[in-house]
Amino acid sequence: MSFVQGLDRYFAVLSNDQKARYLIAKEKSLLDRKIEIADDILQSCHFCERHCGVNRQAKEVGYCGINAISRYASEFLHHGEEPELVPSHTIFFVGCTFACVYCQNWDIANRFVTGTPLLPERMAETITMRNYQGAKNVNFVGGEPTPHLHSILRIMNACNVNTPMVWNSNMYCSSDTMDLLRGVIDVYLADFRYGNDGCAEKYSNVKDYWSITTRNFMSAWQDAEVILRHLVLPNHLECCTKPIVNWVAYHMPNIRFNLMFQYTPHYKAHQYPELNRSLRYDERTRALEIVRDAGLKNLV
Ligand code: SF4
C-alpha cells in the first residue's frame, strides 16, 4: 500500500470534526507554528533568561508578574523615537523582566500594575487604524515586550496591513525567544545598557548580562535591522559605555548607534548616590570621545 493510499484509508475513518482539524492543521503557516511553540514555552516559561519555569497558562506568574493574559498601558503614535521610525505606533505593555532602580517607566514596568487586557485581533484592528493615520511601523515596548511574545505573535498573525515590526527591548530574551522572533521582526530597537555583569546585577537585578545581551545582539544583527540604544549613566563611562562601544565597534561597526544623554534619576535612584543626578557636561564629552576613538560613525 502506498503512503497516499494509507493516508486515504486513515482519512476515511476520521469523524468530520477530526477531518476539519486535520485540514486546518495542514494549512498552518509559519506564524501559526511559532504561536504553538510560544504557547508551549508559556507552560514552563523561559521567554527571558530568568527561566522562571512557571506555568503562566495556569495563572502562575514569574519575576515579570505577568500570567498568560497580556496587558498594555497605552498605544499611540509616538513622535519621540529615532527619526527614521516616527511616527511609530507604539504599544506599551506592562511588566518587565528587569528591575532597574532608575526606571523612567516604573509606573508601567513594575509587577503590580494591571493595564488593559489585550485582545490580539482587536489590537490588529488598531494597528490598521494607526497605519491609516500615518504610522510607519508597529513598535512593541514596555516595560518589556518579551513576556508578551505569545500575544505579539498572535497580533502579527491577525494583522492585515503590511507594516514593519519593531522589537523595542532590553535584549534579555532567551535563545528560544530569539528563534521565534527570527523572520518576523524587521527592526530591533535594542538597549545595550551595561558593560559588565556587576553593574547589571546591582542596578537591574539580572545575571550574566554581558554574555546574554551580546549573544542576542549578534543574533539580531544577522537577521534584521538593528538600532542600538545606549543610555549613558553618570559615573559609568569607563565601566559601561567604553566596553559597549568597543564591542560594538568590533562586531557591528556599521550599526545605527544612539548614544543617549537623557538619563534622569527616577524611581529608586535616590538610594544610589552615584546615580542620583543627571549627566555632567564633561561626561557627555567623554562619551563622545569614547565613540570617536572607537571609530563608530553611524550615530543617530
Ligand atoms: S518572561 Fe516572565 S515568567 Fe517568563 S522567564 Fe521571563 S520573568 Fe520569568
The full set of domain ranges for the chain reads 28-229
Give the whole-angstrom CA distance, residue 281 versus residue 235.
Answer: 12
Confidence of residue 16 (pLDDT cuts 50, 70, 90): low
The predicted structure's pLDDT at residue 10: 45
Report residue 235's pLDDT band, with 50, 70 and 90 as the boundaries: very high
Q: 21 CA to middle of ligand 1, Å?
A: 32
Nearest CA to ligand 1 atom 6: 48
Closest C-alpha to 252, from 200, 214, 279: 214
pTM of full prediction above 0.95? no
User: Which ligand 1 atom sits nearest the alpha carbon of residue 54?
Assistant: 3
Instruction: Say whether pLDDT at 25 is over 60.
Output: no
Which stretches within the chain are classed as H helix? 3-12, 16-26, 30-42, 106-109, 120-132, 149-158, 175-181, 197-204, 209-223, 242-251, 281-294
H or E, element range at 91: strand 88-93
Taking the centre of ligand 1 as the mean of its atom positions, its distance from the CA of residue 165, in whole angstroms, is 22
State which ligand 1 atom lies nearest to the alpha carbon of 147. 1
pLDDT tens digits along 86-131: 999 999 999 999 999 999 888 888 766 679 999 999 999 999 999 9
Give the pLDDT of residue 244. 98
The residue whose grid cell reads 489585550 is: 118
In this structure, the residues whose C-beta lies within 6 A of any atom of ligand 1 are 45-48, 50-52, 54, 62-64, 97, 146-147
Mean pLDDT of the chain: 92
As given in the structure block, the three cell numbers for residue 208 are 550574566
What H or E segment, with its residue span, contains residue 230?
strand 225-231
pLDDT of residue 5: 42
> Which fold is adopted by the domain 28-229?
TIM Barrel (3.20.20)
pLDDT value at position 108? 82
Question: What are residue 299's DSSP bridge partners?
Answer: 257
Query: Which atom of ligand 1 is found nearest the CA of 62?
Result: 3
Dist. CA 162 → ligand 1 center (Å): 30
pLDDT at 35: 98
Confidence at residue 12, expressed as pLDDT on a 0 to 100 scale: 56
Instruction: For strands 256-260 and 225-231, give the pairing.
Output: parallel
